[in-house]
Amino acid sequence: MHSKLTALFQKVYGRPPEIVTRAPGRIEFIGNHTDYNGGTVLGAAIDRGVWVGLARREDDRRQFYSELAGVVTTLPSGVLARQEGSSSWINYPLGVLAALPAFDLPAPEGFDYLAISDLPAGAGLSSSAAIELASALAFLTAVGSNPDRETVVKLGRHAENHFVGVPCGILDQGVSGFGQRDHLVFIDCRGPRFETVPLPRAAHFWVFNTHTKHALVDGLYASRHRECMEAARALGVGQLVEATMPKLERARAGLSDESYKRARHVIEEIARVDNARQALRRGDLSTTGRLLTASHRSSQVYFENSTPELDFLVDLLAGGLNVFGARLTGGGFGGAVMALTTPAFGGAQAAAVADAYAERFGKRPDILHAQTGPGAQVVMK
């Protein structure tokens, strides 16, 4: 990808990049919608992601190009207005630029910027966090800043929350920033506090992208966020992480059915994260897989962010050979299912799953066999 980025940068801008950065996509392993509720989550940085090339300019023009959009968009350095239509992808690096003053960090004035990716968009693998972190590292390197990894993670989240407009928690950026090969990232979102958890070598990830629509900014994600906040207020706690199932059951008569279901999912999901963390430390993938499937059932029934397509895949995978468990990964409302499998689960079995899905829904899902990979990094400066 480095050589591909360099060649494309030369073609578009007539010179090579001075700075190259990359940040991985992530698999939400377990902890669905727990992060903005103050809970815990486990995620895996994968070996695919977003690469950013940058070269400084002597004027104040900021030029943006992505392989997907295919056109150069030029903005003066003083313009940080949200972009629309085919240029809307620029809101991710623009959001990072807009966030820098909040962290007392300088921003580069003029530059040529280019982004490429081998991460499928809309698959619940958080290409948005990857481009935010890769952009943040590129911009900070351009001005000679070297903040700690947690600050880079928080910059990405600030951009997503306040500029892009998605009220996400720290999961996506945290996993992309702190990822390591052969490890999961555990996040206690109240700190936030980050640590890594070894992943047994017998564990493999298979992701099935349904191509169904993600509608995060369009409102469903924001609705669930609002419903969780309302449930917390009704329970008299600041965040749902402070609630317990006995407390929820005592208050059930005074809660709407919607508030009860959202709170139940989050409270029980936080417990599943902690149980999965303990199981992984024991190398117990069978128990971990059962927790993954239970997580999906809770998303399906209580959080109602699954879809018939995702449910079909989980039903098929979780009951199959060589599969420890399966669940939706990401915000839900479409996107992808992740299966945790043994090494014996191979391409032929994945293709059979895709065939069954195509027979039911008329279109094959994309299949991604992912490995764990390193977190966001500066590749060249």
Contact call for residues 170 and 33 (beta carbons, < 8 A): no
CA 76 from centroid of its chain's CA atoms: 30
Antiparallel, parallel or unpaired: β 61-66 and 73-76: antiparallel
Exposed, middle or buried by CB within 10 Å (0-12, 13-18, 19+), for 59?
A: exposed
Catalytic one of 47, 172, 218, 274: 172
| Type and span of the H or E element at 56 | strand 40-56
Q: Backbone dihedral region of 182: left (phi > 0), alpha (psi from -120 to 50 degrees) or beta?
A: left
DSSP 63-114: EEEETTT-S-EEEETT--PPP-GGGGGGHHHHHHHHHGGGGT----SSEEEE
Phi, psi of 82 (to 5 degrees): -60, 140
* Active-site residue, 172 included: yes
The number of beta carbons lying within 10 Å of the beta carbon of residue 289 is 23
Tell the burial category of 196 from Cβ atoms under 10 Å away from its Cβ (0-12, 13-18, 19+).
middle
Handedness of CA 15, 93, 187, 260 (dihedral sign): negative
- Type and span of the H or E element at 323: strand 323-329
Q: Residues with catalytic annotation?
A: 172
